Structure 1
Amino acid sequence: MDITIHHLRVFAEVARQGSFTRAAEALYVSQPAVSKSVRDLERQLRTPLFEQIGRRVHLTEGGRTLLAHASRVIAELADAERALAGLHEAELGRLSIGASNTPGTYLLPGPLGAFRQAHPGVEVVLQIGATREVLDRLIAGEVDLAVVGEAQFPAALIAEPYVQDTLALILAPSHPLATRPHVDLAALAGEPFVLRPPGSSTREVLERALAGRQFRPRVVMELGSTEAVKKAVGAGLGISFLSQYAVELELQAGALVTRPVAGLDLCRGIYTVRRASLPLVPLYGHFLAALRRGTTRGNDPR
């Protein structure tokens, strides 16, 4: 016999009432049913839980120990039931989002803020990492939803298009190529590249496009964040390709410049991703709707 939540609830009610009869009345079951439940529990735990003193039953030392744990289990289950009820109404709960660097840093803050205002009872956690890392977390159940760049999505996941993105060649304003209206790929031969590491969607899209042109970049530095790449390029340490969304502020400030590269297709999709095995509960649906609303406002998710 396994110990069930029913056993713990009956036991806790007997301890509260100090009587098998009154516990049975409170639980709307027969007194023999209460007695059997307690006996089964004592047999499973191999220890007496109550002793009769006068007309009341009192907890033994083993009973007091069990009550402390049983009370926590019962309370935790009640909290879980309330949380799930709120989750299905999209009023309460916890939403954990995994995102790769570009969408997590530059696209999601606006929609996340709008979602939190509409659902203040929902705790939102955003975890940012490389695309492969985020997808691994999603498959493992460590995050509920993911927003990542283009990737090979396993069959266990459902990926839906969110927005289109384009990688741009970024240069320091002082770089000699910055004076040209456009750049040929041959002009990049021998240039030092500062790139995101393997495993990031940005790196994979770039390498796929360059491989199609038989071009191998001279990588002098790999940096784990887009912000670090921008700082390195701005300091003249090399050139790079980054999302158009990631460099908007630097372009406006004149800290970086972008140039088109002739014949190089660097478009990619950004996707929302969820586990195929889980239903799309209302909480998730409301978050995805907030993302779509952000996309339709001037075609800028922020």
Structure 2
Amino acid sequence: MINTHLQVFAMVAEKKSFSRAAEALRLTQPAISQQIHTLEEYYGTKLFERTSKRVELTAAGETLLPYAKQILDLSAKSKGALDDLMGRVTGKLTIGATFTIGEYILPQVLAEYTQRFPEVELNMLIHNTEEIGEMMLDYSIDAGVVEGRLQHRHLTLTPFLDDEVVLFAPPSHPLARSAAVRAEQLEEHAFILREAGSGTRATAEDYLQKIGVEPRKVISIGSTQGIKEAVEAGMGLAILSQWCVRRELQTGSLKRLTVDAFRYSRPLSVLERAGRFQSRAASEFVSLVQHYAYPKA
């Protein structure tokens, strides 16, 4: 079917590589090449420029790509509509989640989801908030779960959980010995933050702004685990969701710092595309996320 060829085409366009597309689709590279060749014969034009290093869309490929995504989305909608009519929850579900949510909160939700709906083929992609928004806009995911703010007329955010954000240090840090610290004591210390574009980075910057602190030095690390290990190694202080550090705080390998009785929380939200048809698999996922009995972090 043409849908299969268009799915291959869209994946090659996304990965910019035949081999990576083959890996993502669990096909052989010759099978990918053959399907692209068949599609190029069907449309009577080249869709990709191939070099030794990468694959780029031609002008014809750039023109086809948004239509291909719409066709694939309509195909999924039609199957979803028939499944809904027959009361089935099946098909593929691709979720986009930010790092904190995808690594520390969603796994327990997904465990329950797979028990309820074992026929759904589940795939979770973990990226930062801005990237999740872009993936929702280009139909790469069915639902998103994010910790940052996004403003776009085609996207809607629905909060489902209040997340407290905490400041922490290694237990050997001088400030870790105090029951509470003053904001001005923090300015002389380095802070380890996530990369720009991350919802966690934006939250940490807002936290610091609200307590009136401008760090003398900021170190960017694109991994939550990397940040925790850097703090444990004594590189500086950090601000993360309580979900990310609850085990380390319990074991004592990290120490929470209380700043002038200041507390900061943010909403975690379900991200959806406004007006987009939602499959039964996606709507059941969104409902579970919103009504799940989350344990205390």
Q: Same fold (TM over 0.5)?
A: yes
How far, CA to CA, are the matches of 2:180 and 2:88 in structure 1? 49
Residues 81 and 279 of structure 2 are in contact (CA less than 8 Å); yes or no, is this contact kept in structure 1? no
Give 1:86's match in structure 2, choosing from 83, 86, 101. 83
CA distance 1:231–1:157, change in 2 (3 Å): same
Q: For this pair of structures, how many residues does the alignment match?
A: 225
Gaps of 5+ in 1: 5-75
Q: Where does residue 200 of structure 2 map in the other structure? A: 202
**SS, match of residue 210 in structure 1:** helix
Amino acid at match of 2:169: L
Q: In the alignment, what sits opposite 2:246?
A: 248
Equivalent residue, structure 2, for 1:229: 227
Q: Given residue 166 of structure 1, which amino acid in structure 2 is its aligned partner?
A: E
Find the partner of 2:163 among 156, 161, 165. 165
Q: 2:216 aligns with which of 211, 215, 218?
A: 218
Retained in 2: the 8 A contact 1:100–1:128? yes
Specify the code of the residue in structure 2 equivalent to 1:272. V
Rounded Cα–Cα distance in structure 1 between residues aligned with 2:225 and 2:88: 34
Aligned match of 2:149: 151
Quote how far apart the aligned CAs of 1:206 are: 2.1
The corresponding residue for 2:130 is 132
Q: Give the corresponding residue for 2:58.
A: none
Please state whether the residue corresponding to 2:89 is helix, strand or coil. coil
Root mean square deviation, CA, Å: 2.6
Deviations along 1:200-245, one digit per CA (max 9) or x if unpaired, are 1111122123234442223342111111100110111111001001
Matched, 1:177 2:175: yes
Task: Work out whether residues 147 and 273 of structure 1, in 8 Å CA contact, stay in contact via their aligned partners in 2.
Answer: yes
Stretches of structure 2 that go unaligned for 5 or more consecutive residues are: 3-71
- Partner Cα distance (2:282, 2:239) in 1: 33
Q: Indicate conservation of the 8 Å contact 2:191/2:218, yes or no.
A: yes
One-letter amino acid of the counterpart of residue 281, structure 2: L
Corresponding residue for 1:49? none
Match of 1:239 in 2: 237
Deviations 1:150-173 (A, max 9, x none): 303312111101101111111101
Q: Is the 8 A contact 1:165 1:268 kept in 2?
A: yes
Q: Alpha-carbon deviation of 1:99?
A: 0.8
1:279 Cα offset (Å): 2.8
Could you tell me how far apart the structure 2 residues matched to 1:153 and 1:164 are? 20
Question: Aligned partners of 1:146 and 1:176: how far apart in 2?
Answer: 40
Q: Higher Cα Rg: structure 1 or 2? A: 1
SS in 2 for 1:286: helix
Q: Secondary structure at the match of 1:173?
A: coil
**Which secondary structure state, in structure 2, belongs to the residue aligned with residue 124 of structure 1?**
strand
Amino acid at match of 2:130: R
- Inter-CA distance 189–299: structure 2 relative to 1 (3 Å threshold): closer
Q: Distance in 2 between matches of 1:284 and 1:223?
A: 32
Report the TM-score when normalising by structure 1.
0.68
Distance in structure 1 (CA, Å) of the matches to 2:232 and 2:92: 39
